[in-house]
Chain A
Amino acid sequence: MNIFRLIIDKLKYTAYESQQLFFFSLKMVASLFGRKIYWAETIEQMYMTGVGSLFLVILTGISAGQGMALEFSNELGDFGAKGYLGRVMVLAIVRELGPVLTGIMVAARVAAGITAEIGAMKSSHQLDAMVAFGIDPIKKLAAPRLIGLMTMVPVLTIICDVIGLLGGWIIAIFISNITSTTYWVAVKEKLIFGNIFVGIVKPIFFSLIIAFVSCYKGFMSEGGTKGVGRSTTESVMVSSISILVSNFVITKIISGYLKGYL
C-alpha cells in the first residue's frame, strides 16, 4: 500500500470521526434539556472537576506566573520598563496562559478519568444495562459531566489567573524590586472588560471540547481494557491539541474581528 493511500484513509477516518463527534456533541447538548436532571450526579461531577483539580491548577498557576514574571521583568528591565510588568502579566496570564494551562491540566486529569470510566462501563455492558432500564446513558452520564466542566473550568481558570498574578507579584517585589503598588496599579490598568471577557470565553470553549471529546471517546470505546486504554490516551491527546488550536483560533477571531469592541 502506498503512502498516499494511507494518508487518504487516515483523512477519511478523521473526517468520519469528526462527523460522529459532532453528532454526539449535539446529543449531549440536547440531553441538557428536558424534565429529568440528575442533580446528584451533576454536583458530584462539579466537585470532582473543581475541587479535584484545584491543587493542580494552583501549582500550575503559581509556577507559570513566577516563570513569566521572571522572564518579563528581565526583558522589561533592559528598556527601563519594569513598571509595566503588571500589564504584561495580565495579558499573558488572563488572556492566554491561564485558560490554556487550566484547560490542558483539566484535560489531562478529568478527560482521562471520564473516558476511562465510561469506557470501562461500556466494556462491561453497564451502559447496555442502563439502556435496558429505559435510561438514556448520555443524559445520565454525559450531561452531568458537561455541566460540571462548563461551570468549573471557568472558575478554575479565574483561580489560576489570580494565583498566576500573585506569583508575578512575589517575583516583582522580591526579585525585580518593583513595589507592590506599581505592580498592582499596572495590573489594574489592564484588567479591563475585554481582557476579562477573553479570559472567561476561552475556558467555556475549552470545557466544551473536553466534555465532548472525553465522553465521545468513552462511549465509542471498543476492544476491552486495551481499547479503554487507547480511548483514554486519544481523549487526552485530542482534547489537549484541540485546546491549543482553538486557543489560537479564538485569539485570532477576537483580535481580528472584535478588537474594536473589546
Chain B
Amino acid sequence: MIEFRNVNFSYGDKQILKDVSFFVPDGESRVIMGHSGSGKSTILRLILGLIGPDSGDILIDDQNICRMKVKDLREIRKRIGMVFQDGALFDSLTVGENIGYYLLEYARFGLPEIERRVAEMLGFVGLDDEIMDHLPDELSGGMQRRVAIGRALISTDPKIMLYDEPTTGLDPSMTSNITSLINRLVEVKHVTSIVVTHQIADAFELANKFIVIDHGQLIFDGSIAQLRNCEDERVVDFLRPFRESVANVKKIDFI
C-alpha cells in the first residue's frame, strides 16, 4: 500500500509538488499522467526515498518513510522494484550481470543458481538467454527496458513496482510488449504498480485508475468513467488531444 498525505516538494525555489495526497491499496495499479515536467517522476523518487518531501507524509505499508533511518529505508527499498526512464542499466556490466546484480550483491545463491534464475527471468520478460553476455548498448530500447524490468523483478520478488515512462520512445509493437508484461506482473504476481507516463493511449492499457498531475498539483484521482465525466478544466484540457482514446477505452478487468 502506498499513501501520500499532503506532500510538498521543491527543488530550490521551484515548487514541484503541491499538497499531493493519494492512496493506492495493495495489488492495485495506478497510472500517473501529466505533461512533461509536471512532477510525475518526482512522485516515484519520493516513494523510493531517493529524495525527501519538504512537508507531508509518505507511507509504504503503513510505515512512514519520511522519518525513517537510512538503514530502515534500505529494507523498505528491497520491497520495491523500480524501472527507471531509459532503463538505467549498468552500462559496463553484461545483461546477465545486470539482471543478477541484486543476487550477486547480496550473495544469496551460488553462481550456477544465479545464472539459472537470470536465464529464467530473461524468459519471463520475453528475451532469449543468448543475450546474457551482451552489453546493454548492444540491445534495442525495448529490450533494454525489458532487461530493466527483469532486473527489478529478480531482486526480492517486489511487492511494489514503479515504472518511469516505460514505453516512451518505443515503437508500437515494443510498446505493446512492455504493457503486456506490466499487466502480466499485476495478474501473476499481484504487485502494486505505479506507472508514470505521458503516453495517454498506453495509460489506458495499464490500469483503470488514474492520477493526473498538473504543475505539481493532483487534479484528478479516479476511474476511467470518472475521467470521462470530469469537468475540471485542467483535466479536460489535458485530455483534449486524446478525447478519442478516452472515449474508446474498454474497461480493464484484471484489477
Chain A contacts with B in 86-134, Cβ cutoff 8 A? 121, 124-126, 128-129, 131-134
Assembly CA distance A126 to B98 (angstroms): 11
Chain B contacts with A in 66-99, Cβ cutoff 8 A? 74-75, 77-78, 80-82, 84-86, 88-91
> Is A11 engaged at the interface, CB distance under 8 Å to the other chain?
no
Residues of chain B contacted by A124 (CB below 8 angstroms): 86, 88, 91
The reply to whether A133 and B84 contact each other, CB–CB distance below 8 Å, is no
> Is A135 engaged at the interface, CB distance under 8 Å to the other chain?
yes
CB distance from B249 to the nearest CB of A (A): 31
Assembly CA distance A121 to B151 (angstroms): 17
State which size class the interface on A falls in. 10 to 19
| Chain B minimum-CB-distance residue to A134 | B74
Chain B contacts with A in 90-117, Cβ cutoff 8 A? 90-91, 101-102, 105
Evaluate whether A132 and B80 lie within 8 angstroms (CB atoms) in the complex, with A124-B86, A125-B86 already known: yes
> Is B50 engaged at the interface, CB distance under 8 Å to the other chain?
yes
Residues of chain A contacted by B50 (CB below 8 angstroms): 128, 131-132
> Is B63 engaged at the interface, CB distance under 8 Å to the other chain?
no
Q: How many A-B residue pairs have CB under 8 A?
A: 46
> Is B48 engaged at the interface, CB distance under 8 Å to the other chain?
yes
Assembly CA distance A125 to B85 (angstroms): 8
Assembly CA distance A128 to B101 (angstroms): 14
Assembly CA distance A135 to B151 (angstroms): 14
CB distance from A38 to the nearest CB of B (A): 10
Assembly CA distance A124 to B216 (angstroms): 24
Chain B contacts with A in 23-54, Cβ cutoff 8 A? 45, 48, 50
CB distance from B69 to the nearest CB of A (A): 13
Residues of chain B contacted by A133 (CB below 8 angstroms): 77-78, 101-102, 105, 155
Assembly CA distance A135 to B74 (angstroms): 8
Which single member of B45, B74, B75, B88 contacts A129 (CB below 8 Å)? B88
CB distance from A134 to the nearest CB of B (A): 4
Evaluate whether A128 and B74 lie within 8 angstroms (CB atoms) in the complex, with A133-B101, A133-B102 already known: no
| Chain A minimum-CB-distance residue to B74 | A134
Assembly CA distance A132 to B46 (angstroms): 12
Residues of chain B contacted by A131 (CB below 8 angstroms): 48, 50, 77
Closest 10 CB pairs of A and B: A125-B88, A134-B74, A129-B88, A132-B82, A125-B84, A134-B77, A134-B78, A133-B102, A126-B88, A126-B90
5 contacts across the A-B interface (CB closer than 8 A): A121-B90, A124-B86, A126-B89, A129-B84, A129-B88
16 other contacts beyond A126-B91, A129-B151, with CB at 8 A cut-off? A121-B90, A124-B86, A124-B88, A126-B90, A128-B48, A128-B50, A128-B82, A128-B84, A129-B82, A131-B48, A132-B77, A133-B101, A133-B105, A134-B74, A134-B77, A134-B78
